[in-house]
Amino acid sequence: MRTYFFLLIVILLSGCDPQANESITSPYQSKIEDLLARMTIEEKAGQLTLYTSGWTVTGPALRDDYMDELRAGRAGNLFNAHTVSYARELQRIAVEETRLGIPLLFGLDVIHGYKTTYPIPLAEACTWDLNIIEKTARLYAKEATSAGVNWNFNPVVDICRDPRWGRIAEASGEDVYLGSLIGAAKVRGIQGDDLSDPETMLACVKHYAAYGASQAGRDYHTVDMSDRTLRDTYLPPYRAAVDAGAATVMASFNELHGVPATGSEYLMKQILRDEWGFNGFVVSDYTGVMEMIKHGIVENEKQAAELAFKAGVEMDMQSGFYSKYLPELIREGKISESALDEYVGKVLELKYRLGLFDDPYKYLDSVRESETLFSREFFDHGLLSAKESIVLLKNEGQLLPLSKNIPSVALIGPLADNKKDLLGTWHVAGIAEKVVTLKAGIENVASNVRINYVRGTGFEGNDRSGFNEAISAARRSDVVIMAIGENYQQSGEAASRSDIGLPGNQSQLLEAIAATGKPVVVVLMAGRPLTIGWMDENIPAILNTWHLGTMAGQAIAETLFGDNNPSGKLTITFPRNVGQIPIYYNMKNTGRPFNEADKYTSKYLDVSNEPLYPFGYGLSYTAFEYADLNLSADRMTKNEQIEVSVTVTNSGDFTGEEVVQLYIRDLVGSVTRPVRELKGYEKIRLNPGESKVVTFTITNEELKFYTFEKKWESEPGFFQVFVGTNSTEVLESRFELL
C-alpha cells in the first residue's frame, strides 16, 4: 500500500502517466520508504515544521531555540533564510550535523521580484499579457533561486472586490476568468518544466481559500459566503493553479463556513484532494495553526495541532505546534503514524524532485548568485512589464503625450524623486538604490526639458510648509506633473484602509496646484484603486501607474513623453466613493434594476450606481473603433461552438495596442447569473488606419456554472454576447444554447 501511495504522489505531481515516470519514481519511492523507516516520530514531525529566520541590522540570524531544533533534526524547513552565504551554512548544519542529513526547503514570499523588482501583481495583471506575466515569474524565480530560495509563497490568486483590503495589491483583481489564467501562468513561470533545474522552484498557491473576501476589507478578517459563491467565484483560480501543476498550497488566515481554513477538512480534503486530485502538500500561513485558538475553534495548542493535522494541513509554519505535539498525539492514538508518514512522504518527495538529496547545495552557489543578481535581462523585462502595466484613465484635450520640446515641467509630489516607495508592497529584498525615479526617468527621456522639482508634501499629516514652493514651481512651468498616491506601506499585508482617497494632504496640494490654471497631469501611484472623484472632474490627464518597481520612473517617463503608448486595462473597478464598495463589473441584477425615474429601484440617493472607471477600462493615445459584430450561428448544441468576430480599427494617429474583450450573459438560469462575465480577450497591435478582424470561439465550457443542482454544467437558454474595449462600452448580440 505504501509503495502504491508514493508512486501515486509522483504520478500526480508530475502530471504524467506511470510508464513515463517509471524510471525516476522507483529511486524516490525506495529512498523515501528507507528514510521513513529510520526516522523517529520527532524527526518526522520536524519535516512538517517551518520556522522563520530573523533579519537584524547586522544581518540574518536564526533564533537560538530554532537552531537547537534544526540541529536535532526537528526543523526541516526554513522561511526567510536567503542569500547564499547565510542559507548555505544552515543547509550545512541540516545535512552534516543531523542524524539523517535531510536537506532543508528555503521558502520566501517572492511576490513580484527578489532584488530586481517588477510591477506589483495588481499592476502587471493590467497588461492582460500572459507571456509577460509568465516571464516575470520565470525571471524572479531565476534570481531568487540564485540566492538560495527553492520554495516561493506565490502565486496569490485571491479574487478581491474590495479595494480597502490592502492585499489586493498582491492579487490580480476582481475577475475569475482572468485571475485563473494569470495564476496558472505564474505557476508555469515559477516551476518551469523541470523542478530539478536549479533556476526553478516550488510554487505555493495562496491564500486558500477566499481570503480576498475578508469582511469590511479588513486583513485577517472573517469570510462568510454561500458555497455557490465560493465555487462560482473564488475557487476557480486556485483550481487553475493546481491544474497547472502547483506543488504546494497555503491555507488562508480567514474562517469560512464558520471554520478557520487551517482547520477545514472541507477545503483541504474534500475539495482540494478528493475533488481536484491535488497531491502536493499544504502549508499553514504564518502562525495560522496557532491562530485557531483565538478564532475560538479549539481551546489550546495541542488541539490546534490536532485539528490542523486532521484537516489535511501537512506543514505548520512558525507555530511549532506540530513539532511540539504530534509525537504526543500519536502516542495517545489521536492521529496515526501512517497519516504522519503520508504527510512526511509528500514533503520528502518534493525535496527529491528539487534534487536536494542529490546536491543539497545546488541552490547555494555564490558564483551563480553574483553573476545572476541584477542581470540586464531583469531590467529590460522590468521596463517592458512596467510600461505595459500603466493605465491611462483620462486624457482631456489630448494633453498627453507631452512634447519633448516643452521648455519646462513642474514635477511635484512625494513620489516624484522617490526610490523605495516605487518598489511597492512585499518587495522582499528589493534594492531601492537600483530604482529609476520619475525625476531620473524624465531626465533620461526628455533631457532638454527643465524640471522644476518640489516634493510639496508627504503621505501623512497636514503639513503645508511645502505648498508655496510647489505653487511657485507650477506657475513658472509650462506643464505640471503631480506624482502622488500611496507609499509602499499604505497597501499590502496589514495595510487595509477605510478611506481610500489620497493619503495625507495630497488632495489639498493637488487642488492648490490646479488653481494656478496650469495644465496638470497626475501620475497616480498606489497599490489599490483610489477614490479620486475630484481629480477626475478637475484634472485633464490621469495616468494610473500603480507601483512599478525598479524601472518605474523610466517606464512612466517614456509614457508621459510618447515613447510608449499606454495599453493597460483595469482588472479592478475604481469606485466613486467607499460607500459603493463592493462594486464590480459582474454583479447580478435585482428584481428592481436601476430606473432613474422610479424611486423604488436599486440605487443610491447621493451617487450613481456606476463606477468611476469600470473593469477592463483603459485609454490610449490613439483611438479604436469597433464594428461588424457577427456570430457564425444564432443557435448551438453543447457539442458545437459559435465563432464571434468583430472588426477593430485604429482610427487615431498613433500605433497602439488594444485589449479586445468578450463577455457573455446567461439570461435565465436555475440560479441567477451575473449581468456580464469575461470569457475571452485578445491583445492586438494596430498601426494608424489599420483594421483587424478578431475572432473568439464560444464552446459549452464558457457557459458552465454551479447550477441549482450543485453541478458544474451549462443550461439551455438564451445568452447575450458583448464585445468591446471594456466591460461597459460594447457591441451586443445573442444566441441560444439548445
Q: Are strands 391-395 and 541-544 parallel, antiparallel or unpaired?
A: antiparallel
Q: To which H or E segment does residue 586 belong? A: none
Three-state SS at 157: coil
- DSSP 8-state class, residue 402: P
**Residue 91: Cβ within 10 Å count:** 23
Q: Measured between alpha carbons, how far is 682 from 660 in angstroms, rounded to an integer?
A: 5
Residue among 66, 83, 84 nearest 75 (CA) = 66
Q: How many residues does the structure list for the chain? A: 738
Q: To the nearest 5 percent, what fractions of the chain are helix, strand and coil?
A: 35, 20, 45
Residue among 81, 64, 75, 91 nearest 151 (CA) = 81
**Residue 729: Cβ within 10 Å count:** 13
Residue 243, phi then psi, degrees to nearest 5: -65, -25
DSSP string, 497-539: -S--S-STTHHHHHHHHHTTT--EEEEEE-SS----HHHHHH-
Which of 109, 158, 232, 285 does the annotation list as catalytic?
285
Q: HSE-up of 300 (CA within 13 Å, CB side)? A: 3
Q: Measured between alpha carbons, how far is 174 from 237 in angstroms, rounded to an integer?
A: 11
Give whole-number Cα distances, 615 to 200, 550, 656, in Å.
33, 27, 20
Query: Quick check: 682 and 696 in contact, CB under 8 A?
Result: yes
Hey, which residues does 31 pair with through a beta bridge?
A: none
Give whole-number Cα distances, 315 to 80, 102, 558, in Å.
16, 16, 46
User: CA 450, 526, 729, 700 torsion: positive or negative?
Assistant: positive
User: CA 315, 347, 426, 124 torsion: positive or negative?
Assistant: negative
Distance from CA of residue 38 to its chain's centroid?
41
Q: 157, exposed or middle or buried, with CB in 10 Å at 0-12, 13-18, 19+?
A: buried
Radius of gyration of the chain (CA): 27
Residue 118 corresponds to which cell in the numbers above?
517588477
- DSSP 8-state class, residue 267: I
Give whole-number Cα distances, 423 to 58, 116, 383, 489, 688, in Å.
23, 9, 13, 10, 35
Contacts of 600-607 spanning 24+ positions with Cβ under 8 A: 604/579, 604/580, 606/579, 607/576, 607/577, 607/579, 607/580
Three-state SS at 277: coil
Query: Quick check: 145 and 137 in contact, CB under 8 A?
Result: no
**Residue 151: Cβ within 10 Å count:** 28
Residue among 478, 497, 479 nearest 489 (CA) = 497
**Residue 14: Cβ within 10 Å count:** 17
Residue 191 corresponds to which cell in the numbers above?
516551476
Hey, which residues does 731 pair with through a beta bridge?
A: 723
**Residue 378: Cβ within 10 Å count:** 25
Residue among 234, 247, 206 nearest 9 (CA) = 247
| Active site (annotated) includes residue 285 | yes
- DSSP 8-state class, residue 400: P
Please, what is the end-to-end C-alpha distance for the chain in angstroms? 47
Three-state SS at 660: strand
Q: Which residues are catalytic?
A: 285
